Amino acid sequence: MAMESATAEEYLEVIYKLSREEAVRPSKIASALGVAAPTVTSQLKRLEAKGLLTRPHGRVKLTGEGEARALSVVRSHRLSERFLTDVLGIPVDEAHDEACKWEHALSPRVQQALEEFLQMPDVCPHGHPIPAADGTVGTVHGHQLTDSLPGDAVRVVQVAEDDDALLSYLTSLGLLPGTVLRVVDVAPFHGPLLVEVGGSQYALGREVAAQIVVVGVSV
């Protein structure tokens, strides 16, 4: 039963995250979880029967109860990431996978205790808001790095959290929340951005740069 519950929570979490950006279709869920379409269809039917989601016009939408369950999982995951990085010293690009193992085990009481121990953090190590106990979710302000202009000095406030390879790459470049960088050049015709970080310059493809949220700073 524990494994079945964890699987259900994984689906709810993925549906919640996908719904923040676009209408959620089963094919998107299958891609995000790396499972076959028939497996997704079967699981969605079970979650729908439990009143956790609906499927109007082929799209997947969480019910109030389903969203509350999803937010609890996200809360557990991001608090776990903070503990792993801030207290245990686990590298940011490794904390995500470890937190996936913790997120299904934390009760609301443990979530609260962990939150208080960590002194009420607002965001996870990747810069994504940590849902509050009442389900409210804060907002991270900023713009995609792709919207920056040559000469702009910016500070990273958020990076992608679910792409392990990308996160490992950004970590290797030091492009994590809190890092200040300068945009040296922006190639035309959707070409790469040349950025300077700590005295080193790197060319970032548009697809990578779009996964980095920044705010302008004065230097």
Report yes or no on 93 lying in a domain: no
Domain count, the chain: 2
Report yes or no on 120 lying in a domain: no
Report yes or no on 169 lying in a domain: yes
Report yes or no on 174 lying in a domain: yes
Question: To which residue do tokens 């700590």 refer?
Answer: 198
Name the domain boundary from 25, 44, 62: 62
Other beta carbons within 10 angstroms of residue 158's beta carbon come to 22
Task: Identify the CATH number of the domain in which residue 194 sits.
Answer: 2.30.30.90
Tell me the C-alpha to C-alpha distance, in Å, between residue 61 and each of 42, 48, 129, 138: 16, 10, 21, 21
Of 202, 214, 128, which Cα lies nearest the Cα of 170? 202
Q: What is the pTM of this model?
A: 0.90
**How would you write the pLDDT of the chain (219 residues) with one tens digit per residue?**
354 688 999 999 999 999 987 889 999 999 999 999 999 999 999 999 999 999 998 899 999 999 999 999 999 999 999 999 999 999 998 999 999 999 999 999 999 999 999 999 999 999 999 999 999 999 999 999 999 999 999 999 999 988 889 999 999 999 999 999 999 999 999 899 999 999 999 999 999 999 999 999 987
Instruction: For residues 42 and 46, give the distance between their C-alpha atoms in angstroms, rounded to a whole number.
Output: 7
Give pLDDT, residue 22. Answer: 80
Report yes or no on 200 lying in a domain: yes
Report yes or no on 9 lying in a domain: yes
Report yes or no on 121 lying in a domain: no
Asked whether the CA dihedral 110, 112, 113, 115 is positive or negative, the reply is positive
Name the domain boundary from 43, 62, 81: 62
Report yes or no on 152 lying in a domain: yes
**Interior angle at CA 94, CA 22 and CA 71, nearest 5:** 40
Name the domain boundary from 38, 62, 86: 62
Sheet strand arrangement including 200-204: 143-144, 212-216, 153-159, 180-186, 193-197, 200-204
Range(s) of the domain holding residue 28: 2-62
Give pLDDT, residue 52. Answer: 96
